């Protein structure tokens, strides 16, 4: 099988500055035929959980051996490690800050190595504030050109995973919390869709509350509720989501990350 030269970028850089362009240029300088795909550059600044969710949503949809470069890196320039690994059939290059948590939970870890030494990747000293350009991007180009990621450094004895709270079930309900607010104002929770389906085969009878407010009942999709009415659904990533048809659930429910959510029949 031909080596993939597809590489994705996921950052919190935004697009108003030249940071993303600089990373792409540094990749192409090493691998001119790289096929660069943007997952997102609108991850909220320093929001590792949002980065983990974006990566877990997008990465599994790509062809095998795609390289995913993640630079949501609020501790850039410190002694935090840079890791590269193969999870299932996807390759990820990322800072050791927990951004890999959901991928690691959903796919087997086939290899994982520390990148040593990062200063060498750009052919000279790396900027303390822009490892995306000077470390991640040149290394991504080398990986696309055939570098064996298992030779980049030792295996870590441990690596960082986010402490994502687990939902709690009792006889009558499932309690969890909001872990992400998307651009539509939808509230993504830590409650797996599978847990709901196991507990309540007829989920249309289940209602939700969020931060003490009524959050509606289950619907198959947004438009099945009246305009501006709250609803609950099983989203495309396999989680319970609170929404408002043609509105913003975060505003209507005065809720954000960490808000308690309860489901009850």
Rounded to whole angstroms, the Cα distance separating 74 from 79 reads 12
Residue 117: asked if its preceding bond is cis (omega within 30°), the reply is yes
Pair of tokens at residue 191: 């409650």
Q: What are phi and psi of 102, to 5 degrees?
A: -75, -35
pLDDT band at 229 (very low <50, low <70, confident <90, very high): very high
Pair of tokens at residue 182: 């998307």
Judged against a pLDDT cut of 80, whether residue 1 lies above it is answered with no
Task: Say which range, 1-15, 51-65, 93-107, 241-255, has the weakest mean pLDDT.
Answer: 1-15
| Section 121-148 average pLDDT | 90
pTM, full prediction:
0.92
How much is the pLDDT for 117? 74
Rounded to whole angstroms, the Cα distance separating 90 from 59 reads 7
- Residue in this structure with the two tokens 């808000």, named with its chain if needed: 259
| The CA-based dihedral angle spanning residues 191, 195, 197, 200, taken in that order and rounded to the nearest 10 degrees | -100
pLDDT band at 183 (very low <50, low <70, confident <90, very high): very high
Rounded to whole angstroms, the Cα distance separating 94 from 85 reads 9
Report the chain's mean pLDDT, rounded to a whole number: 94
25-79 pLDDT per residue, tens = 999 999 999 999 999 999 999 999 999 999 999 999 999 999 999 999 999 999 9
Judged against a pLDDT cut of 90, whether residue 153 lies above it is answered with yes
How much is the pLDDT for 124? 72
Q: Are 87 and 113 in contact (CB under 8 A)?
A: no
Domains present along the chain, CATH in parentheses: 6-151 (3.40.50.10790), 168-264 (2.40.30.90)
């Amino acid at each position: 099988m031909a080596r993939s030269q597809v590489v994705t970028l996921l950052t919190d850089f935004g697009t108003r500055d030249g940071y993303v362009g600089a990373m792409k240029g540094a990749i192409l300088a090493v691998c001119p035929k790289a096929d660069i795909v943007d997952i997102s550059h609108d991850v909220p600044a320093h929001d590792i959980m949002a980065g983990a969710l974006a990566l877990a949503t997008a990465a599994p949809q790509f062809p095998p051996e795609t390289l995913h470069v993640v630079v949501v890196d609020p501790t850039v320039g410190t002694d935090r490690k840079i890791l590269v690994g193969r999870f299932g059939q996807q390759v990820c290059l990322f800072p050791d800050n927990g951004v890999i948590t959901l991928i690691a939970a959903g796919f087997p870890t086939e290899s994982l190595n520390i990148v040593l030494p990062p200063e060498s990747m750009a052919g000279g000293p790396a900027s303390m504030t822009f490892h995306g350009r000077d470390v991640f991007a040149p290394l991504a180009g080398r990986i696309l050109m055939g570098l064996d990621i298992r030779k980049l450094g030792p295996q870590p004895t441990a690596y960082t995973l986010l402490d994502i709270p687990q939902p709690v079930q009792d006889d009558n309900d499932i309690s969890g919390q909001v872990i992400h607010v998307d651009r539509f104002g939808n509230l993504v929770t830590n409650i797996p869709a599978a847990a709901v389906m196991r507990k309540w085969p007829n989920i249309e009878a289940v209602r939700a509350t969020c931060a003490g407010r009524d959050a509606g009942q289950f619907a198959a999709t947004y438009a099945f509720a009246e305009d501006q009415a709250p609803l609950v659904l099983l989203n495309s990533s396999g989680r319970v989501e609170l929404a408002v048809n043609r509105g913003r659930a975060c505003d209507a429910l005065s809720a954000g990350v960490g808000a308690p959510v309860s489901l009850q029949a």
